């Protein structure tokens, strides 16, 4: 084989390999990878207090009529779903009586606060406000063991 072609093939394979691992890394992102920031959860806390705590309790521990948004039962409900699913649930069905009235940013901040309350680690970047992107982040009740 011509030497130049051989080099081009090697480079092309490298590029394909690198994008494949980047894709894999994205696919396997989960709530354990620091997907919201501390500052975002801090912004979400007063919003949660105002819009959600009346029914769900100050830390989402559950109230008379509304289920808990933290703890084992809640985590079991969302285990295997995505942060996008939770975001969409919050955005389209909550707060009861004011459904769909909060902005995407407010819902993302509230969702960040919920991740904090459920003891998932904070990281450097904020949760996005597009559910397409949030669908790529898995909600896993248990921390996956590192391979």
- Closest separation between CB of residue 72 and ligand HEC, Å? 11
Applying CB under 6 A, which part among 2-10, 16-24, 65-73, 118-126 lies near ligand HEC? 65-73
Question: Two tokens at 94?
Answer: 């909550």
- Closest separation between CB of residue 116 and ligand HEC, Å? 13
Applying CB under 6 A, which part among 5-13, 26-34, 63-71, 132-140 lies near ligand HEC? 63-71
- Does 83 interact with ligand HEC (rule: CB under 6 A)? no
> 67: Cβ–Cβ under 8 A, 6 or more apart, which residues?
56, 73, 74
> 131: Cβ–Cβ under 8 A, 6 or more apart, which residues?
84, 87, 88, 91
CA distance 35 to 29: 8
- Closest separation between CB of residue 130 and ligand HEC, Å? 18
Question: Two tokens at 33?
Answer: 């990878």
- Does 129 interact with ligand HEC (rule: CB under 6 A)? no
């Amino acid at each position: 084989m011509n030497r130049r072609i051989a080099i081009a093939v090697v480079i092309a394979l490298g590029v394909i390999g690198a994008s494949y691992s980047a894709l894999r890394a994205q696919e396997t992102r989960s709530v354990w990878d620091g997907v919201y920031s501390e500052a975002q959860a801090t912004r979400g806390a007063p919003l949660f207090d105002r819009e959600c705590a009346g029914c769900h309790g100050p830390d989402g521990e559950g109230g008379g009529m509304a289920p808990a948004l933290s703890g084992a039962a809640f985590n079991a409900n969302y285990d295997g779903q995505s942060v996008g699913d939770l975001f969409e649930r919050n955005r389209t069905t909550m707060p009861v009586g004011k459904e769909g009235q909060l902005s995407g940013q407010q819902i993302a901040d509230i969702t960040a606060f919920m991740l904090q309350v459920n003891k998932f680690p904070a990281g450097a970047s904020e949760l996005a406000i597009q559910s397409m992107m949030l669908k790529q982040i898995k909600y896993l009740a248990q921390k996956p063991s590192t391979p």
